[in-house]
Structure 1
Amino acid sequence: MNKCTAVMVTSTPAPVLAMLSHVRELRDGHVLCELGENHEDDHAVMLDDVDNGFGGAVWARWNETGVRTVLLSWCPAGPPEDRACGLFMDHGSGHGWEVIDPTPEAIRRELAKQYPDHFPEYIDDDRD
């Protein structure tokens, strides 16, 4: 399933950015929903992994009426190859390993149009 395309513009103060400096999306002034498309609950993005034995993370949850930050436990599901889900418990979409960001593939297809020698796997590809 593709990743949700919801975006939330942020105006995060500099001291908060310093605390959450490992979250690249905040420095860009926006966050992207990490859930799968067509989820039924609020959008969500992880802000900070809580490393104190809680077993969860601080997430921003938003919808058309507002935003809130919440501390949520990790999803306990583990897929093949022993990878963790990476989303919170009771998330409303597929597990993290099922959510695909289509952006890198779209970028490769566009680059292949301009630089076909660098992307020979797309030479006979008629899909756009």
Structure 2
Amino acid sequence: MNQCTAVALLPPPDHVVRLAAPGNPPQAGYVLCELGEDHGDDHASLLWEDDANGEAVWVRWGADGSEDGDGTGGEGGDGTGIGGGRGARLMGLAWCPAVDARSEDACGLFAGHPSLHDWDVVDPTMEAVDAVVRGRPDPAAPRPDPPDGP
């Protein structure tokens, strides 16, 4: 399954803007949804791991592309999946307990996530990059020594 392509722009918090140097305001950042396409719930992106509490901090935003998930539109309510981020919520969520039987890798999503586990979610951009790279020689591979003399 392909990865969801929703994007949210996250403006810097007001307290960060107030602390910024005059003439050098902090820029908005963006996050990409990490769930599988057509997940039918709010979008989600991992921000950082919180190992001390056995969880991670995630940002969640409206599933319909709106900022608040109420279906009323707002920035991104045109179906593009691009939200303004003002309705984004940061939350600490426990890790999904599932483990891939083939590789013994843990799922990198949060517990109770609405889509397939992360090992079944494919980033279409990385698939395109992989297709290009597969046809090229490995630049790190050892090269044969040049022949001696003319």
Taking structure 1 as the reference length, the TM-score comes to: 0.70
Match of 2:91 among 54, 70, 89: 70
C-alpha separation in 2, matches of 1:28 and 1:83: 33
C-alpha separation in 1, matches of 2:98 and 2:105: 9
| Cα offset, 1:28, TM superposition | 7.9
Local SS of the residue matching 2:88: strand
Q: What one-letter code is carried by the residue in structure 1 that aligns with 2:37?
A: E
Change (3 A) 1:104 1:72: same
Equivalent residue, structure 1, for 2:51: 51
Q: What one-letter code is carried by the residue in structure 1 that aligns with 2:55?
A: G
Equivalent residue, structure 2, for 1:20: none
Change (3 A) 1:3 1:28: farther
Over the residues paired in the alignment, what is the CA RMSD in angstroms? 2.6
In the alignment, structure 1 residue 5 sits paired with structure 2 residue 27 = no
Gaps of 5+ in 2: 17-26, 69-86, 137-150
Asked if 1 retains the 8 angstrom alpha-carbon contact of 2:95 and 2:108, the reply is yes
| Cα offset, 1:11, TM superposition | 2.1
How many pairs are equivalent? 103
C-alpha separation in 2, matches of 1:75 and 1:100: 18
C-alpha separation in 2, matches of 1:58 and 1:12: 17
| Cα offset, 1:105, TM superposition | 2.5
C-alpha separation in 2, matches of 1:108 and 1:51: 31
| Cα offset, 1:29, TM superposition | 2.0
Equivalent residue, structure 1, for 2:60: 61
| Cα offset, 1:108, TM superposition | 5.2
Which is helix-richer, 1 or 2?
A: 1
Q: What one-letter code is carried by the residue in structure 2 that aligns with 1:43?
A: H
C-alpha separation in 1, matches of 2:112 and 2:106: 14
Asked if 1 retains the 8 angstrom alpha-carbon contact of 2:58 and 2:90, the reply is yes
Q: What one-letter code is carried by the residue in structure 1 that aligns with 2:119?
A: W
Asked if 1 retains the 8 angstrom alpha-carbon contact of 2:49 and 2:55, the reply is yes
C-alpha separation in 2, matches of 1:44 and 1:57: 12
Equivalent residue, structure 1, for 2:121: 99
Local SS of the residue matching 1:105: helix
Q: What one-letter code is carried by the residue in structure 1 that aligns with 2:127?
A: E
Larger Rg: 2
